[in-house]
């Protein structure tokens, strides 16, 4: 029986009950080993007594503990103590998506898609680890106080359905897939269907199918077509409606086949919401029927049995924590007849379709592998850090050096070594030697991007050659004209929508000015309209959800998202790093890696030694009973014990304060004392007694 204040697992102190579900209760607890708050989900007693259920509960929870993703409520630990079975999870304080929808009536398209993208990323991570949620719904999606979206309740769905536990599933049946409603086999595409229903509710503020009983709602999922979301909210873009409808196809083969496909379309809908790019594939039209042998049939069945055995060891489901356990949240009952049907050796016509699809997929995989090997052999495909390094170098910044007073050739050489592009223009000035740099367009000491054009104004004598005008001419023609006039040509390139690709935008020095013979003339040549380049926005300081929306709206994609420590406390739970510089131009759909700050790095200390007796007080005698307490500077009590034997061995880790104090408290017995009055000769006896003594000893902890 769980009680407030009790310690389980020798490290988790139960603080308060924060929620309850169909099969478990959730408590807020403190992990004293890592000094952090966690959520502890405890299996209810009626399920703890079911040995078969407990066995499956352990398997599912242990599998979930391997899932670590920013969009998943992570599982830290699994344990059992005195018949109490528990899972330790990340504590997330926030609001469920269900409550958020109820609060706002319905969400904007941009907000709904941004949330759907983050949910999809979390589910994708689970699917990549062969874990299926089976109960995706707004009640199981958390929006934290910082705006981060997390999927929860990966706990005990498979364990529950494997034991055919009967429960009220009214809260889940609104989002269940047709195959789950039939009691059949469910896979990754069942989660895609449930996510589609969730997106429908975010966009319209209502669920598509409703009824008086769970059976009536389940039948609608099986038989009735999904009502178009635009019937309820006409301003929903076409592409977003098509994405929802594709997710909610009755046949799993007509839905998105993976979360990657769904994420790609969701991001595309943010960029081009009104385009008709969503493709619904009819497998009956895409694949033709072919005969298969008995050997093929046996192999397919073996593979199917193997996959089911893997799923039985991996899938899980977990309850809510903190403010988001719904009263109607219960686990659904699934039928076990699927496993029995697998043992049926009779011919199944559906196997023809399955075999055809498998054959097509295998052929495509083989073709991709062959193309990849050929391309890699001939150098067509290039991978590795070289491209990434080049991209980073393009956006790297350097400090402008002082070039005023230098010879122009020395200045050009120094700027080129920094990665800057010098442009030369001349000015008649008899006060300085010919070729001396008079001015630069960028002040020394400033930070500038590499490849920035630096205009140098150089002194020349009154004698010189008139610079011909080449603006508007082709690069080849301009080069020819300038070289014939006795100049050396430098070429830089930039995008310009008003000048045709390959033609000169500008020149430096300008037309009709004079320049020494043999000096350099820089021409800027157009690369045409900037069609495939986009400017990288600044997402530093944004929440992950806002950063994803900003990048996708700019035509970019999100690469890897990782969590790191950052000394700036203001950036906690916000993006603190992006892999491309703000304002740089990159190709459309370039993946931008993000890092989200978990806050400043926590320095921890340890205290491992023997506490010696309080000999600082001369009244202390060996064998006295002493109360010893160890308290850190921040008020955390590490030890409180009574002993008469020293030294006392202690070993504490994860301490946050660098210093502390040891307090010794003991009682001293005093003897009777007799004194004589020198004037009267009268003697006075003071009886002895007990006196409490306190000794304090400051200590320093060792940094871990």
Q: Which residues are catalytic?
A: 135
* Angstrom distance (rounded) from CA 199 to CA 393: 41
Q: Give the gyration radius of the chain's Cα atoms.
A: 37
38 contacts 9 by C-beta, under 8 angstroms: no
Q: How does 307-330 read in b/e, with b if 16+ C-beta sit within 10 Å?
A: eeeebeebbbbbbbbbebbbeebb
Show the tokens assigned to 369. 């592998």
Sheet with 94-96: list strands edge to edge: 94-96, 141-144, 149-151
* Angstrom distance (rounded) from CA 21 to CA 1: 17
- Of the candidates 570, 580, 567, 585, the one whose C-alpha atom is nearest the C-alpha of residue 539 is 580
Rounded to 5°, angle at Cα 119 from 118 and 120: 90
User: What's the distance, CA 667 to chain centroid?
Assistant: 58
69 contacts 149 by C-beta, under 8 angstroms: no
* Angstrom distance (rounded) from CA 3 to CA 13: 10
* Angstrom distance (rounded) from CA 580 to CA 451: 16
Residue with tokens 């997106």: 199
User: What's the distance, CA 173 to chain centroid?
Assistant: 30
The three state secondary structure string of 368-429 is HHHHHHHHHHCCCCCCCHHHHHHHHHHCCEEECCCCCCCEHHHHHHHHHHHCCEEEEEEEEC
- Of the candidates 491, 436, 496, 488, the one whose C-alpha atom is nearest the C-alpha of residue 460 is 436
* Angstrom distance (rounded) from CA 249 to CA 317: 24
On the question of a cis peptide bond just before residue 272, with omega within 30 degrees of 0, the verdict is no
Given phi > 0 = left and psi -120 to 50 = alpha, else beta, which region is 284?
A: alpha
* Angstrom distance (rounded) from CA 625 to CA 539: 62
Longest dimension (CA), the chain: 131
331 contacts 156 by C-beta, under 8 angstroms: yes
Three-state SS at 361: helix
* Angstrom distance (rounded) from CA 335 to CA 1: 32
Contacts 24+ apart (CB under 8 A), 257-261: 257/189, 258/124, 258/127, 258/188, 259/120, 259/121, 259/123, 259/124, 259/127, 259/188, 259/192, 260/124
Q: Any idea what DSSP says for residue 679?
A: T
Q: Any idea what DSSP says for residue 534?
A: E
Where would I find the beta strands (DSSP E) of 54-201?
A: 75-81, 84-90, 94-96, 141-144, 149-151
């Amino acid at each position: 029986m769980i009680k407030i204040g009790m310690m389980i697992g020798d490290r988790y102190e139960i603080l308060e009950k924060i929620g309850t579900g169909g099969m478990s209760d959730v408590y807020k607890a403190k992990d004293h080993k890592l000094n952090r708050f966690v959520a502890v989900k405890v299996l209810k007693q009626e399920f703890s007594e079911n040995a078969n259920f407990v066995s499956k509960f352990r398997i599912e929870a242990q599998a979930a503990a391997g899932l670590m993703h920013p969009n998943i409520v992570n599982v830290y630990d699994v344990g059992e103590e005195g018949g109490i079975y528990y899972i330790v999870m990340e504590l997330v304080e926030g609001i469920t998506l269900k409550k958020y929808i109820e609060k706002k009536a319905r969400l904007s398209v941009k907000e709904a898609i941004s949330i759907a993208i983050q949910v999809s990323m979390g589910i994708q991570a689970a699917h990549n680890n062969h874990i299926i949620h089976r109960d995706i719904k707004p009640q199981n999606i958390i929006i934290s106080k910082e705006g981060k979206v997390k999927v929860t309740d990966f706990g005990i769905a498979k364990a529950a359905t494997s034991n055919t536990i009967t429960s009220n599933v009214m809260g889940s049946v609104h989002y269940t897939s047709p195959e789950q409603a039939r009691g059949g086999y469910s896979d990754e595409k069942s989660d895609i269907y449930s996510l589609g229903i969730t997106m429908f509710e975010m966009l319209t503020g209502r669920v598509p199918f409703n009824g008086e009983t769970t059976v009536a709602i389940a039948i609608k999922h099986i038989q009735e077509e999904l009502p178009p979301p635009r019937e309820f909210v006409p301003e929903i873009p076409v592409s977003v409606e098509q994405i929802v409808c594709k997710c909610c196809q009755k046949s799993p083969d007509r839905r998105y086949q993976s979360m990657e496909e769904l994420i790609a379309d969701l991001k595309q809908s943010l960029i081009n919401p009104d385009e008709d790019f969503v493709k619904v594939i009819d497998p009956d039209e895409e694949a033709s029927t072919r005969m298969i042998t008995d050997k093929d049939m046996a192999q397919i069945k073996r593979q199917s049995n193997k996959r089911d055995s893997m799923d039985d060891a991996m899938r899980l489901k977990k309850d809510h924590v903190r403010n988001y356990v719904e009263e109607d949240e219960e686990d659904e009952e699934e039928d076990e007849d699927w496993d029995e049907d697998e043992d049926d050796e009779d011919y199944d016509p559906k196997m023809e379709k399955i075999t055809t699809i498998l054959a097509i997929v295998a052929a495509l995989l083989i073709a991709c592998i062959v193309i990849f090997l050929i391309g890699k052999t001939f150098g067509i495909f290039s991978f590795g850090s070289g491209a990434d390094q080049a991209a980073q170098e393009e956006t790297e910044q350097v400090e402008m050096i002082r070039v005023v007073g230098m010879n122009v050739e020395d200045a050009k050489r120094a700027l080129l070594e920094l990665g800057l592009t010098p442009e030369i223009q001349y000015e008649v000035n008899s006060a300085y030697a010919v070729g001396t740099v008079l001015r630069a367009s960028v002040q020394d000491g400033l930070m500038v991007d590499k490849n920035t054009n630096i205009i140098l104004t150089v002194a020349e004598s009154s004698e010189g050659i008139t610079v011909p005008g080449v603006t508007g001419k082709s690069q080849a023609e301009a080069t020819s004209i300038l070289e014939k006039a006795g100049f050396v040509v430098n070429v830089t390139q930039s995008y310009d929508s008003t000048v045709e690709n390959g033609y000169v935008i500008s020149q430096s020095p300008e037309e009709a000015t004079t320049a020494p013979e043999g000096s350099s003339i820089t021409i800027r040549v157009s690369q045409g309209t900037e069609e495939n380049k986009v400017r990288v926005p600044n997402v530093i300081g944004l929440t992950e959800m806002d950063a994803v929306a900003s990048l996708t709206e700019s035509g970019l994609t999100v690469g890897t998202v990782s969590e790191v420590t950052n000394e700036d406390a203001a950036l906690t739970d916000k993006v603190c790093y992006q892999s491309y510089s703000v304002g740089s131009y990159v190709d459309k759909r370039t993946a931008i890696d993000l890092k989200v700050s978990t806050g400043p790095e926590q320095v921890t200390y340890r205290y491992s030694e023997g506490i010696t007796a309080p000999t600082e007080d001369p009244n202390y005698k060996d064998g006295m009973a002493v109360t010893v307490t160890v308290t850190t500077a921040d008020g955390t009590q590490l030890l409180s014990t009574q002993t008469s034997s020293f030294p006392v061995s202690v070993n504490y880790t994860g301490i946050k304060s660098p210093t502390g104090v040891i307090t010794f408290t003991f009682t001293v017995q005093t003897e009777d004392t007799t004194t004589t009055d020198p004037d009267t000769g009268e003697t006075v006896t003071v009886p002895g007694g007990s006196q409490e003594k306190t000794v304090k000893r400051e200590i320093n902890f060792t940094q871990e």
